[in-house]
Structure 1
């Protein structure tokens, strides 16, 4: 994809896949010991990395992008995943990840949750990523309800 295509995709809010090796060079210092990158995506300056332990969201801020917020979703906190595939026209694909944010997964009286939406260009096949995240969500759901 040329620079104009990347910019158009970026302005539309779409993530483009980036090689794990490239992501490791730029963001490897944020990984925990024993953590490996499975896949990753870039949106102009922002980056989402999926590792064997978590999903890491790098949100570069300001005009220069020198300031950056790093946020993580631990894979063992994901309890539901939904996907919407691209239709005709300008529709994009998306994956919504629902996860537990409270420190205790089985709290009496209230577990806090949140949602993260990832948008992909229509040409990107979201099915393998959806399947991977859905398997994690299913296993977590089963473990939480034992």
Structure 2
């Protein structure tokens, strides 16, 4: 996936070693990154213990919000694939006792949504 894909919302797979170094200050001791995906500037990082959503804010992206979701808190998730006329794929994640999804990410006709769904199924089921 190239620059154009990342600009229009396609998720690209990232090198886990580089992501571990980037998130070294927020990972707990012995926590390992299993998979990471980049959507525009934001990251979805799957570790052994939690899902970390990295939201880079502002023009420069220097301000960063790290949203940590323990896998045990995820009550359910859904994946909607892209269609012929609706080209967006969508991922929604609900946490315990929430009526609205905490995570609602759009992907542009992207096969990475299947990889993300498999990871969520493996850690939640």
TM-score of Structure 1 vs Structure 2, range by shorter chain = 0.7 to 0.9
Q: Which residue of 2 aligns with 1:103?
A: none
- If you compute each CA radius of gyration, which structure gives the higher value, 1 or 2? 1
- In 1, Cα distance between the equivalents of 2:105 and 2:95? 14
Pairing partner for 1:99 from 85, 95, 99: 95
Corresponding residue of 2:32: 36
Q: 1:117 aligns with which of 91, 99, 104?
A: 104
Question: Please, which moves more after superposition, 122-131 or 29-38?
Answer: 122-131
Q: CA deviation at 1:112?
A: 5.0
CA contact (8 A) 1:47 1:57 kept: yes
Residue 15 (structure 1) aligned with residue 8 (structure 2): no
Where do 5+ consecutive residues of structure 2 fail to align?
none
Is this contact kept in 2: 1:81–1:137, CA < 8 A?
no
Q: Distance in 2 between matches of 1:59 and 1:123?
A: 20
Measured in 2, the distance between the counterparts of 1:129 and 1:45 equals 17
| Deviation of the 1:135 alpha carbon | 4.6
CA 1:64/1:123 → structure 2, altered by over 3 Å: closer, same or farther? Answer: closer
The normalised TM-score by structure 1 is: 0.71
The 5-angstrom pairing of residues 4-83 of structure 1 reads 4-7=4-7, 9-10=8-9, 14-83=10-79
CA shift for structure 1 position 74: 0.6
TM-score, length basis structure 2: 0.81
3-state secondary structure, aligned to 1:30:
coil
Question: Displacement, 1:90?
Answer: 5.3
User: Would you say how many aligned residue pairs link Structure 1 and Structure 2?
Assistant: 124
In structure 1, the gaps of 5 or more residues are 101-110, 139-146
Greater share of helix residues, 1 or 2? 1
SS in 2 for 1:126: helix
Q: For residues 82 and 2 of structure 1, what CA distance do their matches in structure 2 show? A: 27
